[in-house]
Chains A and B, each alone.
Chain A
Amino acid sequence: MTTITVQTMERVVNALMILAIAILLCMSFILQYGFNELPCPLCLLQRVGFIITSIGFMLNLRFGLRPSHYAITLLGALFTAFVALRQVALHVLPGTGAYGSSIFGFHLYTWSFIIAIGIVLFTTIILGLDIQYIESKKKPAAFTSVLHGLFALIFILTVGNFISTLIECGLGQCPDNPLHYLL
């Protein structure tokens, strides 16, 4: 495989990862507003972690493929996994209850942990392809419209999260078990 082919493939993979995280954030919004499941502080921190993860991929698309961008993705995914694991630990013992509804038998924080660990493993594999970092004279396809579309999608979702968090918690500390919106 040539350098240019690998670079194009890596860019497509990065774009797909951003899209997957955008879908994940959309689903959390559907659950929040469609099923009236207010996010707890740990749920909000998991969203922050997923957005940081997507920004690592966005840096790759905007400035070219670099190990430092993948490092940001890994930091974001590890942070998400750490927060999700804390929430799993809070509810893992029988009789300690659970937070929110479950999908396919797992609660959202458990899914969050599984997905974050999956991102860590996948990113570790794709960042190891050394050929993608070789500078070639021929530039890979720019994906300009796709790139702007994905950036806009993540931007809108982050603004949405900012507004909904402001409505739910105001500028202070979020309640541990939120039952209604503050504003």
Chain B
Amino acid sequence: MMALAFLLLILVILLVWFGKRHAAIYLLLFTLVFSFALFMHHFTTHLNLNL
């Protein structure tokens, strides 16, 4: 899953490089949300919460 975050970032860098500003920003925000979800998953599995 973590590799996917880097793959998304590669796409974002290519979009910036080729001048696609809006697409790059939207994909970047999606990557940020995705990375945050990975972080929250890691965080909550360590807390052993009974939700």
Are A and B subunits of one complex?
yes
Residues of A within 8 A of B (CB): 41-42, 44-45, 48-49, 51-52, 55, 58-59, 62-63, 68, 72, 75-76, 79, 82-83, 86, 90, 151, 154-155, 158-159, 161-162, 165-166, 169-174
Q: Interface 1/0s, chain B 20-45, versus A by CB < 8 A?
A: 01001100100110011011001100
CB pair A79–B35 under 8 Å, yes or no, is: yes
Further pairs besides A79-B35, A158-B6: 14, Cβ < 8 Å: A42-B42, A45-B38, A48-B5, A51-B6, A52-B9, A52-B31, A55-B28, A58-B16, A62-B16, A63-B19, A72-B25, A159-B10, A165-B6, A171-B1
A158 touches B16 (CB 8 A): no
Decide: A79 near B36, CB < 8 A? Known: A72-B28, A159-B10.
yes
CA distance A170 to B3 in the complex (A): 8
B positions within 8 Å CB-CB of A: 1-7, 9-10, 12-14, 16-17, 19, 21, 24-25, 28, 31-32, 35-36, 38-39, 42-43, 46
The smallest C-beta distance from B30 to any residue of chain A, in angstroms, reads 11
Contact A79 B2 (CB under 8 A): no
Q: Is the interface of B mostly helix, strand, loop or mixed?
A: helix
Rounded to whole angstroms, the CA-CA distance of A62 and B16 in the bound complex is 7
State whether A62 touches B43 (Cβ < 8 A): no
> Which of B6, B12, B32 is within 8 Å of A79, CB to CB?
B32
Task: Please report the C-alpha to C-alpha distance between residue A52 and residue B9 in the assembled complex, in whole angstroms.
Answer: 8
Alpha-carbon distance between A48 and B1 when the two chains are bound, in angstroms: 12
- B residues in contact with A174, CB < 8 Å: 1-2
Q: Tell me the dominant secondary structure on chain A's binding face.
A: helix
> What residues of chain A lie closer than 8 Å to B24, measured between beta carbons?
55, 59
Give the residues in chain B near A170, CB-CB below 8 Å. Answer: 3
Give the contacting residue for A158; candidates B2, B9, B19, B43; CB below 8 A: B9
* A58 to chain B: closest residue by CB: B16
Whether B6 lies near A162 (C-beta < 8 A) is: yes
Of the candidates B1, B7, B16, B39, the one whose C-beta lies within 8 Å of that of A162 is B7
Least Cβ–Cβ distance between A54 and chain B, in angstroms: 9
